[in-house]
Amino acid sequence: MAGHSKWANIQHRKGRQDKLRAKVFSKMSKEITVAAKMGDPDPDKNPRLRLAIKEAKSVSVPKDVIDRAIKKSQGGDSEDYEEIRYEGYGPNGVAVIVEAMTDNRNRTASVVRSTFTKNGGNLGETGSVGFMFDRKGEVVYPASIGDADTVMMAAIEAGAEDVESTEDGHVIWCADTDLNEVSTALEAELGESDATRLVWKPTVTTEMDLESMQKLMKLIDALEDDDDVQRVTANFEASDEVMDQLGEE
């Protein structure tokens, strides 16, 4: 499986999500607050909020944290966040998309640019790498949910576009605008997913060796450490051997 999905697997094996639990919760809360503020605080009437809550639950954000984030959106003192996408190149020319949510555009741009520069990359103009990705909906299920044929049939019935099944699990892709409907149909057939989210899916990838991957991980770690950065996606491809070596570090 190419790109950020492999990165997510490595992050899980290294236990980084546990170390960053508070930061992850904070970023999910921000997304929920913004989604509720932009639309309706009732998730049944607000598809973006419903998806934000699904994603938060997939990383074990507690219900009381989710409820507080929604309540915060209705207060007059909630911050006004702007959504910004940054694009650039990392080690070995890998394409990187950074999604941020900030109340200070100048501060965030300065930090992101500096982080790229300090970690062997460079920040580009908007659109400089975006053409190498498609915006897609992604629904992830564990391998235990069923075999590839079972999941494929459920995905087709739900209106999905593609399925990638491996020994690690099933990744179901759909049009970004269809994610809410597809994920709801899948849950009715297969149960609750491990993850439901909007992603940037690489259409082309850059092959990375171990040294390049180590540098890329440092860049992504540094970017994700910034409170304003919500998600980082890179279009890397690496062999199982390289990924296994990274997992042992």
- Residue-wise pLDDT for 136-156, tens only, equals 999 999 999 999 999 999 999
Q: Find the CATH number of the domain harbouring 152.
A: 3.30.70.980
Q: Does the pLDDT value for residue 77 go beyond 90?
A: no
Domain count, the chain: 3
Looking at the structure, do residues 29 and 110 belong to the same domain, yes or no?
no
Q: Does the pLDDT value for residue 3 go beyond 60?
A: no
Question: Given pLDDT bands bounded at 50, 70 and 90, which one contains residue 22?
Answer: confident
Looking at the structure, do residues 123 and 137 belong to the same domain, yes or no?
no
**Percentage of the chain lying above the pLDDT 70 cut:** 90
Q: Does the pLDDT value for residue 172 go beyond 90?
A: yes
Write down the mean pLDDT value for the chain: 88
Instruction: Give the mean model confidence (pLDDT) for residues 29-35.
Output: 92
From 23, 48, 73, the end of a domain falls on: 73
Q: Does the pLDDT value for residue 165 go beyond 90?
A: yes
Question: Given pLDDT bands bounded at 50, 70 and 90, which one contains residue 18?
Answer: low
Domain span holding position 126? 82-131+204-247
From 23, 39, 73, the end of a domain falls on: 73
Looking at the structure, do residues 116 and 225 belong to the same domain, yes or no?
yes
Q: Does the pLDDT value for residue 73 go beyond 60?
A: yes
Looking at the structure, do residues 226 and 104 belong to the same domain, yes or no?
yes
Q: Does the pLDDT value for residue 47 go beyond 50?
A: yes
pLDDT score recorded for residue 76: 65
Looking at the structure, do residues 127 and 224 belong to the same domain, yes or no?
yes
Looking at the structure, do residues 188 and 231 belong to the same domain, yes or no?
no
Looking at the structure, do residues 49 and 99 belong to the same domain, yes or no?
no
Looking at the structure, do residues 153 and 96 belong to the same domain, yes or no?
no
Q: Does the pLDDT value for residue 16 go beyond 60?
A: no
Question: Given pLDDT bands bounded at 50, 70 and 90, which one contains residue 19?
Answer: low
Q: Find the CATH number of the domain harbouring 22.
A: 1.10.10.200
Looking at the structure, do residues 125 and 38 belong to the same domain, yes or no?
no
pLDDT score recorded for residue 153: 96
pLDDT score recorded for residue 101: 93
What DSSP string describes the chain? --THHHHHHHHHHHTHHHHTHHHHHHHHHHHHHHHHHHS-SSGGG-HHHHHHHHHHHHTT--HHHHHHHHHHHTSTT----EEEEEEEE-GGG-EEEEEEEES-HHHHHHHHHHHHHHTT-EE--TTTTGGGEEEEEEEEEEGGG--HHHHHHHHHHHT-SEEEEETTEEEEEEEGGGHHHHHHHHHHHH-S-SEEEEEEEESS-EE--HHHHHHHHHHHHHHHTSTTEEEEEE-EE--HHHHHHHHT-
pLDDT score recorded for residue 249: 62
Looking at the structure, do residues 175 and 185 belong to the same domain, yes or no?
yes
For the ranges 25-34, 75-84, 148-157, 176-185, the lowest mean pLDDT is seen at 75-84
Looking at the structure, do residues 45 and 149 belong to the same domain, yes or no?
no
For the ranges 11-15, 34-38, 82-86, 166-170, the lowest mean pLDDT is seen at 11-15
Looking at the structure, do residues 124 and 208 belong to the same domain, yes or no?
yes
**Percentage of the chain lying above the pLDDT 90 cut:** 66
pLDDT score recorded for residue 11: 47
Query: Does 75 or 158 have the greater pLDDT score?
Result: 158
